[in-house]
């Protein structure tokens, strides 16, 4: 009966056209800030990097995502469902956790950008940043979290709409910048980067270059968000590749000509130190000066950025927490994190998000200045986000190892061996970029700040990922004893953890010889005491 019904209504079914899917994906993949970040890392050489990335990485990446989304469409096409379907329940849970953990630096970075954007939108310059300390910057960022967690439940739908409209407006501003920048040359404008020749756009492939590849991957990932829509296309086998080619074409235009446009206003050989934090505003300021309209373009961009980031932050805080709690179920997620209030909101999940976000902010608070905090957080995304993307290629390789078990309406490369090798290529590139991304950027190599950032990079990764392995152990204690720990145990362990983190961060900011060893000793000692406190089971509930 069901088959007959589906057949009779097939003509009336609403399908997503391939151009619409390409536009949906485009909004999730690239933005103006991504151009700024990677221009700062590689200068004009980033143009070559974008071309290589698009054809050797983005195309196979997006087409692999298409097949995975088609195979696991009955589970919504989420990343954790792909791993669960190919590797079992626990690895599916751990993928969901790492995906969530990767969102923590992203939302912190987004909140930072909100604070920076408001400063520019209100004052029209960067003076606001010069008047606040690192601790005040962290406090404003944390306050931003609290505000949006409080308001997101009431305005979620309108904020989702605002984020979509803001996203489209942001891309509109980016396209406007590219067109007007290149047009300014015809009006007598000059290119700041000299010499502008073929040699200028060829990057230097050295160790420093390898440390910046992760941020390129961070800029172009996100295709997995549109995976569930593959099965909503009328002829996915032929239409989905068209959609992805359109995506690559638009992304190529934006990245190549956008980077060239930045080279018009900024000398790629002598870039401002705060370009990652303020470069977008500087760029639109320069455009306004070129067209003799003052700060008009900068204000338009600043308010567009603020509204977009505000909506994005609220939606992210809600979506990432709900996804984690609902996707992992009762088997591995502790009860206290699955607890919801009368409105169905995972309040303790939000609290965990705020605590870990505060932890990330605390790690960076002893960096020299606000610009260093911003750059470090951004580069942390260039480590953790590509690391999570590895799961996609791993799932694809597992599928193509036994393709008969995973039928799909869309298939990327019919030859299984060749498809597996392409998946391995993407996994290897992403894994290498993740490892090299751990090395600090934007600071002098082997300086005090460099070593400090290296330490907090490693600490952040261990805490964010390691906590995902600890939670199932807490769940096991809950199932065995009724509750994992008593209230007193929770309080003591939390205080010890805070003291250990603050102590480790403080030691990292000192000039003590062998401070890395002292931090390791302090961390091991703190963990041992926490283990001693928590080893006895909590009071059993009756």
Q: SS3 sequence, 91-148?
A: HHHHHHHHHHHHHHHHHHHHHHHHHHHHHHHHHCCCHHHHCCCHHHHHHHHHHHHHHH
Closest CA to 509 of 369, 314, 352: 369
Compute the distance between CA of residue 18 and CA of residue 20 in angstroms, rounded to an integer: 5
Would you say the C-alpha torsion 133, 135, 139, 141 has a positive or negative sign? positive
* pLDDT at position 310: 80
Query: Which value, to the nearest 10 degrees, does the dihedral of the CA atoms of residues 314, 318, 321, 327 take?
Result: -140
pLDDT above 50 for 373: yes
pLDDT above 60 for 320: yes
Give 389's contacts (C-beta < 8 A, 6+ positions apart). Answer: 217, 221, 430
- Higher pLDDT residue, 80 or 418? 418
Mean of per-residue pLDDT scores for the chain? 83
Would you say the C-alpha torsion 309, 312, 318, 319 has a positive or negative sign? negative
Compute the distance between CA of residue 133 and CA of residue 121 in angstroms, rounded to an integer: 20
* pLDDT at position 41: 93
pLDDT above 80 for 317: no
Is-contact 468 382, C-beta < 8 A? no
For 481-498, what is each residue's pLDDT tens digit? 878 888 888 888 888 877
C-alpha atoms less than 13 angstroms from C-alpha of 177 in its C-beta half-sphere: 37
CATH 3.40.50.300, applies to 18-484: no
Would you say the C-alpha torsion 503, 504, 509, 514 has a positive or negative sign? positive
Is-contact 46 259, C-beta < 8 A? yes
What is the rounded average pLDDT of the residues 442-451?
88
- Higher pLDDT residue, 75 or 261? 261
Q: Look up residue 540 and give its DSSP letter.
A: P
* pLDDT at position 505: 64
What does the H/E/C string look like for 294-338? CCHHHHHHHHHHHHHHHHHHHHHHHHHHHHHHHHHHHHHCCHHHH
For 252, 349, 511, 538, the CA distances from 335, given in Å and listed in that order, are 46, 11, 43, 14
For 156, 171, 287, 334, 382, the CA distances from 261, given in Å and listed in that order, are 36, 15, 10, 50, 24
Backbone angles phi, psi at 378, to 5 degrees: -65, -45
Core vs surface per residue 266-277: b (16+ CB within 10 A) or e: bebeebeebbbb
User: pTM (2 decimals)?
Assistant: 0.84
- Higher pLDDT residue, 63 or 147? 63
Would you say the C-alpha torsion 370, 373, 375, 381 has a positive or negative sign? negative
Portion of the chain with pLDDT greater than 90, in percent:
27
What is the rounded average pLDDT of the residues 423-440?
95
**Per-residue pLDDT band at 152 (split at 50, 70, 90):** low
What is the rounded average pLDDT of the residues 29-42?
89
For 164-209, what is each residue's pLDDT tens digit? 677 778 888 888 999 999 998 888 888 999 888 888 898 888 888 9
**Per-residue pLDDT band at 278 (split at 50, 70, 90):** very high
What's the residue count for the chain? 542
Mean pLDDT check: name the lowest of 148-162, 339-353, 467-481, 497-511. 148-162
Give 171's contacts (C-beta < 8 A, 6+ positions apart). Answer: 26, 27, 31, 32, 254
* pLDDT at position 3: 38
Mean pLDDT check: name the lowest of 235-239, 380-384, 398-402, 421-425. 235-239
Closest CA to 481 of 530, 528, 535, 527: 535
Closest CA to 28 of 215, 212, 227, 179: 227
User: For helices 134-186 and 296-332, what crossing angle results, to 10°?
Assistant: 130
**Per-residue pLDDT band at 10 (split at 50, 70, 90):** very low
Would you say the C-alpha torsion 333, 336, 342, 347 has a positive or negative sign? negative
Radius of gyration of the chain from Cα atoms? 24
Q: Position of tokens 């320069």? A: 286
Q: Look up residue 365 and give its DSSP letter.
A: T
What is the rounded average pLDDT of the residues 210-223?
88
* pLDDT at position 146: 76
Q: Position of tokens 């630096």? A: 105
For 397-406, what is each residue's pLDDT tens digit? 999 998 889 9
pLDDT above 50 for 358: yes
**Per-residue pLDDT band at 408 (split at 50, 70, 90):** confident
Residue 188: other Cβ atoms inside 10 A: 7
DSSP 473-532: HHHHHHHHHSSSS-HHHHHHHHHHHHHHHHHHHHHHTS--TTHHHHHHHHHHHHHHHHHH
């Amino acid at each position: 009966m069901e088959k007959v019904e589906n057949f009779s209504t097939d003509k009336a079914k609403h399908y997503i056209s391939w151009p619409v899917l390409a536009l949906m994906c485009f909004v999730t993949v690239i933005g103006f800030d991504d151009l700024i970040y990677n221009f700062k890392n590689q200068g004009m050489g980033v143009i070559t990097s974008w071309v290589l990335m698009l054809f050797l990485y983005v195309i196979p990446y997006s087409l692999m995502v298409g097949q995975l989304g088609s195979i696991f469409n009955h589970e919504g096409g989420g990343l954790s469902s792909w791993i669960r379907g190919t590797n079992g329940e626990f690895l599916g849970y751990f993928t969901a956790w790492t995906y969530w953990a990767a969102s923590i630096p992203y939302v912190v970075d987004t909140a930072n950008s909100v604070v920076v954007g408001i400063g520019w939108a209100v004052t029209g310059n960067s003076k606001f940043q010069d008047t606040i300390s690192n601790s005040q910057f962290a406090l404003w960022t944390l306050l931003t979290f609290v505000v949006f967690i409080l308001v997101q439940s009431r305005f979620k739908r309108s904020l989702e709409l605002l984020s979509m409209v803001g996203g489209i407006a942001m891309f509109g501003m980016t396209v406007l910048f590219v067109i007007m920048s290149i047009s300014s040359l015809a009006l007598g404008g000059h290119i700041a980067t000299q010499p502008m020749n073929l040699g200028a756009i060829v990057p230097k492939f050295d160790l420093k270059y390898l440390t910046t590849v992760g941020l390129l991957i961070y800029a172009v990932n996100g295709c997995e968000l549109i995976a569930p829509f593959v099965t909503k296309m009328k002829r996915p086998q032929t239409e989905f590749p068209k959609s992805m080619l359109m995506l690559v074409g638009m992304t190529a235009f934006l990245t190549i000509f956008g980077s060239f446009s930045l080279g018009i206003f900024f000398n790629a050989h002598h870039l401002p130190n705060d370009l990652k934090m303020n470069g977008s505003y500087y760029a639109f300021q320069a455009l306004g000066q070129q067209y003799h309209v003052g700060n008009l373009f900068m204000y338009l961009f600043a308010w567009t950025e603020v509204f977009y980031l505000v909506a994005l932050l609220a939606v992210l805080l809600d979506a990432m927490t709900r996804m984690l709690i609902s996707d992992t179920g009762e088997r591995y997620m502790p009860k206290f994190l699955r607890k919801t209030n009368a409105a169905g909101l995972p309040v303790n999940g939000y609290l965990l998000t705020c605590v870990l976000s505060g932890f990330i902010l605390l790690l960076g608070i002893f960096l020299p200045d606000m610009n260093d905090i911003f750059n470090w957080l951004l580069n942390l995304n260039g480590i953790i986000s590509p690391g999570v993307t590895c799961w996609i290629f791993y799932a694809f390789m597992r599928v193509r190892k036994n393709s008969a078990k995973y039928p799909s309406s869309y298939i990327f490369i019919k030859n299984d061996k060749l498809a597996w090798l392409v998946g391995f290529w993407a996994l290897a590139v992403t894994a290498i970029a993740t490892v090299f991304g751990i090395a600090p950027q934007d600071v002098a190599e082997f300086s005090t700040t460099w070593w400090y950032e290296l330490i907090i990079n490693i600490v952040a990764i261990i805490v964010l990922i390691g906590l995902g392995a600890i939670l199932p152990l807490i769940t096991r204690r809950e199932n065995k004893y009724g509750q994992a720990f008593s209230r007193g145990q929770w309080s003591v362990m939390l205080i010890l953890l805070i003291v250990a983190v603050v102590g480790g961060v403080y030691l990292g900011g000192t000039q003590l010889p062998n401070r890395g060893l002292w931090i390791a000793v302090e961390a091991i000692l703190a963990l041992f005491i926490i283990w001693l406190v928590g080893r006895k089971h909590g009071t059993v509930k009756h």
